[in-house]
Amino acid sequence: MSDPVLQLLKDKGVPFQISGKDYVTKCFNPEHNDTNPSFRIDRMTGIAHCFSCGFKTNIFKFYGLLTNNVSVRVAKLKEKLNVLKESSAGLDPLDGAKPVTQSFRGISTQTLKHFKAFETDQVEKMLDRIVFPITDVRGKTVCYVGRHSMSNGNPRYVNYPSGVTIPLFPAKFDEKHRTVVLVEGIFDMLNCYDKGLRNVVCTFGTSKLLNDVPQKLLSYKVMGIEKIFILYDGDDAGREAAKKIQPLIEEAGFITEIIDLPEGQDPGVITQEDVTSLIEYTK
């Protein structure tokens, strides 16, 4: 399959160099006299950012071609995912893993079992923790996230192995949905799921998604997701993160909406009544 980003750059006569996953060229910002090329263009999505002046755009949008190329990028991603499904066996199960048999922090046993939560006394890093295997869109385990069983346990969360790029979780759904609701933490996701919201997705904080929006979200485009609701914590940090991430999600081709929570509230503690209303609102 042809590369639509590469083809567009060639069609427009834009000189560039390849650097990792990016094309690098002079900045498109007309107000920036870029003598040292610092404008990086993602080779899959066309999302671009100048690390000198801060200018951001999507080159398809810049040239008025965004809507014509979304389907091409989705088709390209489907092809890539099909190749990935045939490779990589994922991580091996952790030694001594025993499925969770009781509720934890208000999350039902049924939900914990659905996400294959377990405990182990044979892996030192995961002692006294509820552990979740984090799977990618292929269904392969890419890492484990362990939450300390004590409220004052430190550190509260541990990832194994460290340094792995964690996908959004869950990376795919059992049912077909048109929308997705983004929340920050895994227990935010579990609380909403436990109360019936099946299209809720955890971003594992805010910074991880900000650094890798296109790659992590395009798989949802393949699934037919059209709109993404951002349901971050009801505090200054959560609201600021939602504002930062919204335009990046839109550049990836989604409709977006920020849902504001009352001050001090977060998705991990919202009630059944709140979630029921959320289900209706985000259909």
Instruction: Tell me the CATH number at 22.
Output: 3.90.580
Residue at a domain's end among 106, 128, 160: 160
Q: Is there a single domain that holds both residue 231 and residue 183?
A: yes
Q: Is there a single domain that holds both residue 259 and residue 188?
A: yes
In a domain, 168, yes or no: no
Query: What span, in angstroms and rounded, lies between the C-alpha atoms of 18 and 38?
Result: 12
Residue at a domain's end among 160, 187, 206: 160
Residue 67 is predicted with a pLDDT of 45
Burial class (CB in 10 A: 0-12, 13-18, 19+), 14: middle
Q: Is there a single domain that holds both residue 190 and residue 238?
A: yes
Q: Is there a single domain that holds both residue 189 and residue 276?
A: yes
Among 146, 176, 177, which Cα is nearest to 159's?
A: 146
Q: Is there a single domain that holds both residue 185 and residue 111?
A: no
Q: Is there a single domain that holds both residue 184 and residue 277?
A: yes
Helical segments of 148-259, H only: 186-194, 207-210, 213-222, 236-251
Q: Is there a single domain that holds both residue 118 and residue 187?
A: no
In a domain, 200, yes or no: yes
In a domain, 248, yes or no: yes
Domain housing 68: 4-85
**Considering the entire predicted model, what is its pTM?**
0.72
Q: Is there a single domain that holds both residue 102 and residue 124?
A: yes
Q: Is there a single domain that holds both residue 230 and residue 274?
A: yes
Residue at a domain's end among 27, 54, 85: 85
In a domain, 26, yes or no: yes
In a domain, 67, yes or no: yes
> What is the domain-level CATH number for residue 260?
3.40.1360.10
In a domain, 171, yes or no: no
In a domain, 170, yes or no: no
Q: Provide the domain count of the chain.
A: 3
Query: What span, in angstroms and rounded, lies between the C-alpha atoms of 238 and 216?
Result: 20
Q: Is there a single domain that holds both residue 199 and residue 142?
A: no
Q: Is there a single domain that holds both residue 253 and residue 191?
A: yes
Q: What angle do CA 12, 14, 15 make, to 5 degrees?
A: 150
The one-digit pLDDT tens for each residue of the chain (283 residues) are 457 888 889 988 999 999 888 899 999 988 898 888 989 998 877 888 998 998 888 888 788 754 444 555 555 555 555 554 544 557 888 999 999 999 999 999 999 999 999 999 999 999 999 999 999 888 889 999 999 999 888 999 999 998 888 889 999 887 788 899 999 999 999 999 999 999 999 999 887 777 677 678 878 877 888 899 999 999 999 999 999 999 888 878 788 999 999 999 999 999 999 999 999 999 8
In a domain, 51, yes or no: yes
Alpha-carbon separation of residue 150 from 110, 157, 217 (angstroms): 21, 11, 33
